[in-house]
Each structure stands twice: as C-alpha cells, then as structure tokens.
Amino acid sequence: MASSPSLLRQLGLFSAIALVVSNMIGTGIFTTTGFLAGQLGAPNLVLIIWLVGACFALAGAFCYSELGINFPASGGEYVYLTRAYGPTWGFMSGWVSFFAGFSAPIAAAALAFSDYLGYFFPALRQDSAWWRVQWGDVGMQFGGAQFCAAGLVLVFTILNLFGVQFIARIQNALTSVKILVMVAFIAMGFTIGTGDWSHLAQTTERTVTTSIPAQFAISLFWIYVAYSGWNAATYVAEELRRPERNLPLALTAGTALVAVLYLLFNVVFIYAVPLSEMKNVIAIGSLTAKALWGSEVAGIFSGLLAVSLMSTVNAMVTIGPRLYYAMAKNKAFLPVAGKIHPEWRTPVPAILFQGACAMLMTLFSFGLLIVYIGFLLNFFALLAVASLLKFRRREGWQKLGVVSFAWPLMPALFVLPGIWMTIYGALLAPAISIASALTLAAGALVYHFKIRPNAGSADAV
C-alpha cells in the first residue's frame, strides 16, 4: 500500500525569519497606536506598553524555542499541549488557533489593508459600511471594506494551494518590501519629516473611564495581537531544514528585529501627530505620513503599507493549515484537513476551510476581532509556556541557556503578565469573554462527539 505524501523540509533560516517577521508586522503596528492614544492618553504610557509587549514576546520566543527543539514537528501549541496535558488540550489549542489564531487575524489584517486603500478610495474604509448591525459591544457590518478584505483573502488562499516553495518566494519578496518600507518610513520620519518633539510630552483626554492599571491590562491585548506571530516558525517546524538550529534563531531574531522596529515606529507616529489627533484612527500610518511629508508622499506610503499588510495575510494563510494538517495526521482534527495534494504537496482542504472562515470573519468589527484574538491566544500561550515546568523534569530534555538563567524567571516573565491580562479581560470585556467561552464550548463538544472516539495518543504527536 502506497504511503500518503508528507511535508518536505524545504524552508531555510531566512524563510523562517520571514514568516515570523511577516506574521508579526502588520495589523497591530499599522492600526493599534491610535486606539492606545485614546485608551491611555499619555505618550509615555503608549511607548511603555509597546516596550512591555516586546519583553513579553521575547520571553515567549525564548520559551517556545526550547519547546520547539525538543518537539520539532509542525503544530506549535497543539504539539506542546498535547504532550504536556493530553489530547483534549491539544485539540482545544488547535481549535482556538483555527478561529482566533489564524482566521480572525487574517480577517483583521485584510480589513486593515482595506482601510489603507481607503486613502485612495474612501468607500473602502470601515466607516463607510453599506449595512451595519450592533448588539451591545458586538458589531457586524458589510461594505466596501469587507468586500475588498474578503477578496484579498480569496486571492492568497488560492495562491497557497500551489506549493510551499512557490508561496515562499512570494512571501520573501513581500517581506523584503515590508522591511524596506518600515526602515524608509522611520529614517525619513526622523530626517526629513515635519514633526514636533513636543508631542512626546502632550497628553490628551482618554476615551475610556477605566482606571489606568485596569486599562493597561486590557490594552495589552491589543499589544499582544501586534506582537503575535513570534511563534510562527513553530507551525512549520516539520518543513524547516535543521530545525534544532533554525527554529530558535528564527523565533528570537525575528522577534527582536520586530520589537526594535515597533518602538521606532511609535516614536515616529507621536513625533508626527499628537495623541489628540490620532485617537481611534485605524490607518495611523497614512495619518502620520500625511503630517510628515504631505498628501502625495502619504499616498505612496499608504500604498506600500497596504502591500505590507498583504504580506501579513499571506504568511498567516500559509502557516495555519500546517497546524490543522498536523492535528488531522494524529486524528485530532477533521480527517479531510490531513489530506495533501499529490502534486502540489500542500494541505489543500485545510487551506480552503481556513480561507472560508476568514472571509466570514471580515463581517465583524475590527476592535472586536482584535480583543477576541488577544484573549484566547494569550490563554493558550500561557498553558504552553507553563508546560516547561513539567517538561524540564524529563530525562534527556534539551535546555536552552537563556531559559535556564535564573530559572524560572523566563517563563514567569510571560505567565504572570498573561494571568493579569486574562483576569481583567474577563471582568472588563464581557462580550469578548462570552465569545471566547462559546468558542471553547463549541470546541469541547466537537472533541467529545467527533474527535475523541478516534483520537490518536499524545505520544504520537
């Protein structure tokens, strides 16, 4: 009997770093600062929260590096949680990743892409919906932004069907453009931009009534989403050449590079525009470029930033199906998700399912998607990092020196802030808490009735 086709180790270090960088840079940095301006009201707090997020992401990247070299298989949290806590938690992490880890972030990035194109075509902005409905904090709408976003998702879903090497070449090119655009934006902002350093001392009236400590915890969900993607290479570990070397390097180098760029980007934002004028602005890059260089140059950068968001969408469309494939291969997801196209060697059904879900999610409001993503992903990342406390007692476990230093300092730097965020999120964002609970409940039902009877063992992951 012929064996089924499997994934190939075709991705090198640069491609792995490109996946991490592309997954991280995008929706968050190009949209979040305007919302933080209204939530926190002070430039120093805005910069501090981005720095805290950088430390949070780096701590997570170091911990995931150790997990990754010990479990060099595609799947990320699914693999780690299955081995640590059993197949139920492994399935739940994969279930959440399908909705909050990839489909919702793809939708959010595509909506941000539409908003940047709205600089040229106002009908594509999210405030120009043709139809809108609101239930408390939960909103859905349809208009030019949703039509454009769904179209972008469809295009990259189709492109990803035709092989990882083909899409990796596209991704490497888009990532290179993204980095060049960001470096040019920062360099030009500091050298030839018309800004004012006094903006760094100007506060503004906050748009929320929550206390600063409580709001800081809620705002960290936005930051978490902006930095999410630091674990991207773990989802394609099975396709990495020399994973024991390239996986830790990709995670840490990619995360550190993005952290530096984020901090510099935010200084440029505030240098160009006072917080009072950027509150709740989604396309913060367009607003900043217009203030620094005028309308014509702003148009160029708006287009280039839209291209950068295309890179983010493509990276997530590429990575997500590899997780569902890894789960299905171990009988922990729908069997069809484990099918590989015999010629293209890609998980075609998984790619199509994810694309359809992401297109539907473009109907939800941008803010709802962001906090929903942050709330659920933070919870499962906490469980994954905490699993190191169990795994490190195993004989033969490979330990990274940076994680061993002042043990358990590194996992504590990730877990403790994450618990703080989760508690405040549950108390102060009830709509998100309900949506998250429904996602988990649906996953539990699917696992109990559809997956558990045929599930593979944890040791098979």
pTM of the model: 0.84
- Tens digit of pLDDT at every position of the chain (461 positions): 455 565 666 677 777 777 777 777 778 888 899 999 999 999 999 999 999 999 888 888 889 888 888 887 766 788 889 899 998 898 898 899 899 989 999 999 999 999 999 999 999 988 787 888 877 667 788 899 999 999 999 999 999 888 777 777 887 788 788 888 888 999 999 898 888 999 999 999 998 888 998 899 889 999 988 988 777 767 666 677 777 777 778 888 888 888 888 999 999 999 999 999 999 888 899 999 999 999 999 999 899 989 888 888 988 898 888 878 877 887 777 788 888 877 777 888 899 999 999 999 999 988 889 889 988 989 999 999 999 999 999 988 988 888 888 898 999 999 999 998 888 888 877 888 888 999 999 999 988 888 887 765 555 55
CA-wise closest residue to 324 among 351, 297, 293, 301: 351
The pLDDT assigned to 383 comes to: 93
Q: Which one, of 113, 191, 106, 132, lies nearest residue 363 by Cα?
A: 132
Question: What is the rounded CA–CA span in Å between residue 81 and residue 437?
Answer: 19
Q: Three-state DSSP class for 330?
A: coil
3 in any annotated domain: no
- Show Cβ contacts of residue 45 under 8 Å, excluding neighbours closer than 6 positions: 212, 216
Rounded CA-CA distance 410/58 in Å is 9
- Going by C-alpha positions, the residue among 327, 426, 262 that lies closest to residue 79 is 327
Location of structure tokens 């940076």: 402
Provide the terminal-to-terminal Cα distance of the chain, rounded to the nearest Å.
Answer: 23
Distance CA 316, CA 358 (A): 11
Q: Is residue 310 part of a domain?
A: yes
* Number of domains the chain is built from: 1
Residue 364 backbone phi and psi in degrees, to 5 = -85, 155
Please give the structure tokens belonging to residue 235.
């989802």
Q: What is the DSSP string of 250-307?
A: HHHHHHHHHHHHHHHHHHHHHHHS-HHHHTT-S-HHHHHHHHHH-HHHHHHHHHHHHH
Residue 106: inside a domain: yes
CATH number at residue 280: 1.20.1740.10
Nearest to 78 by CA among 284, 237, 196, 197: 237
Query: What confidence score (pLDDT) does residue 382 get?
Result: 93
Q: Give the separation between CA 379 and CA 370, rounded to whole angstroms.
A: 15
Side-chain half-sphere CA neighbours of 229 within 13 A: 38
441's CB contacts (< 8 A; 6+ apart) are none
- Closest to 278 in 3D by CA, of 44, 43, 116: 43
Nearest-Å Rg of the Cα atoms of the chain is 21
* DSSP assignment string, 72-117: -STTTHHHHHHHHH-HHHHHHHHHHIIIIIIIHHHHHHHHHHHHHH
Token pair belonging to 3: 């064996």
The span from the CA of 334 to the CA of 324, in Å, is: 8
Question: How far, in Å, CA of 125 to CA of 114, rounded?
Answer: 6
Token pair of 166 as six digits: 């083909």
Q: Give the domain extent around 209.
A: 13-394+410-460
Query: What is the pLDDT at residue 294?
Result: 92
Q: Is 378:224 a contact under the CB 8 Å cutoff?
A: yes
For 442, the 3-state DSSP assignment is helix
The token pair that represents 208 in the structure block: 């929320």
Two tokens, residue 290 = 């217009």
- As a whole number of angstroms, the distance between CA 321 and CA 334 comes to 12
One DSSP character per residue, 110-138 reads HHHHHHHHTTT-GGGSTTSEEEEEEETTE
C-alpha closest to that of 258 among 62, 21, 50, 17 = 21
Q: Could you write out the DSSP letters of every residue in 20-49?
A: HHHHHSSHHHHHHHHHHHHHH--HHHHHHH
Q: What is the pLDDT of residue 1?
A: 44
Which of 230-246 are b and which e, b meaning 16 or more Cβ less than 10 Å from the residue's Cβ? bbbbbbbbbbbeebeeb
